[in-house]
Structure formats: structure tokens, C-alpha cells
Structure 1
Amino acid sequence: MDQIDRKILAALQSDASGSVAEIAERAGVSQTPAWRRIKRLEDEGIIRKRVALLDPAKLNLGLTGFILIRTATHSEEWLQKFSEGVSRIPEVIELHRMSGDIDYLVKFMVDSIAGYDALYKRLIKVANLSDVSAGFSMECLKYTTELPLDYVKG
């Protein structure tokens, strides 16, 4: 991956709705090479997909929270059941298996505490959990979907 690929990725991360001509201009190449590079980056899985980012507040999703989960069961079967069950809950926007004292971290967005309670009741039906606690975001101080490109080798 060279500097042009990095510029293309930076342009796409900033605004994927731009035309190939706009992306090419930002990367300093013509349209055809830019299109070929974008296609290659997609084929290689570096670009997973292009999406629209929505405003949670305008969708009545005013409560963002994090659920910390500990479990006494660490089998492959349990993990598969848990992962599949949590993946079916649309309010869960991220699920991480963690190192350290917490086994899983769940990020979710709902409309209210009542929405969280409904989510919690669905979550505890998914699998046997030892300890579940949650914290709620008071204010988001940084949010980005743009990944740092300084670590790309090549």
C-alpha cells in the first residue's frame, strides 16, 4: 500500500459519497487509476463496505451505554450461542471479547432507561451470565469512524 492508497482511504473515510473524480483529485491521480485502486482495496477487504452515518439523536437514540459482562462459562459452544444471540439484538452496536477482569463489553444505544431495561431482559435470556453491570455515557467527547492510517505497512 502506497501513499496514493492512503490518500484514497483517507478521502473515503472522510466522505464516501464523493465521486471517483473527487476522490482521485484528493489523491492526486486521474479517475481510472483511482477507480482501479478503490476496486482493489475492496477486493482485498481493506474497504469492507461504504455506509451512511446516521445521527442517533434524530433517531431518538439518546442513551448510549456500555454493559460489562462476566461469565463463569468459557466454552466454544457458550461463546457461539452468546455471540449469535447478542448479534440479533439491534440496539447492540458493538460486542467485544475482552482481556482482564471483564469478559465481554457491549455498547448499545436506546431511547431511555426503560429501553435499556428491555434490552437487559433480552440479553439475560441469551446465555447464562455471572455478572452484568452497565454504565451510561453522559457526553461523547470524541467520536470517529476514521481509522488511523499511519500504521499501514508498505
Structure 2
Amino acid sequence: MDKIDRKILALLQKDATIPVAEIGRKVGLSTTPCWRRIQKMEEDGVIKGRVAILDPTKINAGVTVFVSVKTNEHNEVWMRKFAAAVEEFSEVVEFYRMSGDVDYLLRVVVPDIAAYDAFYKKLISKIALTDVSSSFAMGQIKYTTALPLEFAILSDEEK
């Protein structure tokens, strides 16, 4: 990866629909070399996909709930069973195994508290959990899908 790749990624993170010719112009490349770089980053898994980012309130999913899960089960079999159960829920948009006091953290999006309650009941019917704590987001202060590119490792000649 070099500085041009980082510039391309920065542009794509802001708007993945930007034409390749425009990206090339902004980073100082013609269309074909720019397209080749994008394809290489896709093949290498740097670019994992291109998606549309939706407004949750416009699709009736405006309530965000952070769900902290604690368990007494700390083994591979239980973890896989829990992950499989969580995978079934479209409401879960992020799912992490954590260090510290909480074992797992889920970000759940639903229309309202009643929908969260229904989700919760379905979740606990699928797997035994020691402790579940839910925190409802009162407002979103910052949200981005863009990752910081200053940490990307540059090739030796670019350092």
C-alpha cells in the first residue's frame, strides 16, 4: 500500500459511487491504473465491499440498544452456539467478544422498546445467559463507517 492507495481509500470511504475517472483525477492517475489499484485492494481484502448506508429512522429502525452480555460459559462450544444464535437476528448489526467485566457486546437496532423486548425474549429462549444489561442510546453524537487511514502500513519505498 502506498500514499495513492490511501488517498483512493479515503475517497471511497466518503462515497463509494464516485466514478473511477474522478478518483483517478483526484489522486493523479488515469482511469485504468486507478481501477487496477481498486481491483487489487478488493482482491487483497482491503476493500471488503461497497454498501449503501441507510437512514435508520427512514426504515423504522431508529432505536439503538447496546446489549452487554455476561456468561458463566467460557468454552468454544458455547461461544459457537451463542454466535450462531445471534447470527439469526437481523436486529443485531454488531457483535463483539470483549475483555473486562462484559463478555459480549451487541449493537441492536429496532423500531421501539416493544420490539427490543420481543428480540430479548427470542434471544434468551435460544441460549442461557448469566446476565444481560441493555442501554438505550439517547442520541447519536458521532457515527462513521470510515476507518482511520493514518495507521495503514505503507510499503518500504513510501515510508
TM-score of the superposition, structure 1-length normalised? 0.98
SS at match of 2:107: strand
1:84: which partner in 2? Answer: 84
Q: C-alpha deviations, 1:73-126, integer Å up to 9, x for none? A: 011010111001101100000000000000000001000000000110111123
- Aligned-pair identity in percent equals 52
- For 1:26 and 1:148, the matched residues in 2 are separated by 19
* Ranges of 4+ aligned residues in structure 1 off by more than 6 Å: none
2:27: which partner in 1? Answer: 27
2:104: which partner in 1? Answer: 104
- For 1:125 and 1:97, the matched residues in 2 are separated by 20
SS at match of 1:107: strand
- For 2:14 and 2:56, the matched residues in 1 are separated by 19
SS at match of 2:150: coil
Structure 1 unmatched runs, 5+: none
TM-score of the superposition, structure 2-length normalised? 0.95
- For 1:107 and 1:69, the matched residues in 2 are separated by 11
8 Å CA contact 1:69–1:103 kept in 2: the answer is yes
- For 1:72 and 1:139, the matched residues in 2 are separated by 32
- For 2:29 and 2:145, the matched residues in 1 are separated by 25
Aligned length: 154
AA at the equivalent of 1:79:
M
- For 2:27 and 2:125, the matched residues in 1 are separated by 49
8 Å CA contact 1:81–1:126 kept in 2: the answer is no
SS at match of 1:133: strand
Matches within 5 A, 1:4-23: 4-23=4-23
Structure 2 unmatched runs, 5+: 155-159
- For 1:26 and 1:84, the matched residues in 2 are separated by 43
Matches within 5 A, 1:30-69: 30-69=30-69
8 Å CA contact 1:67–1:135 kept in 2: the answer is yes
AA at the equivalent of 1:53:
I
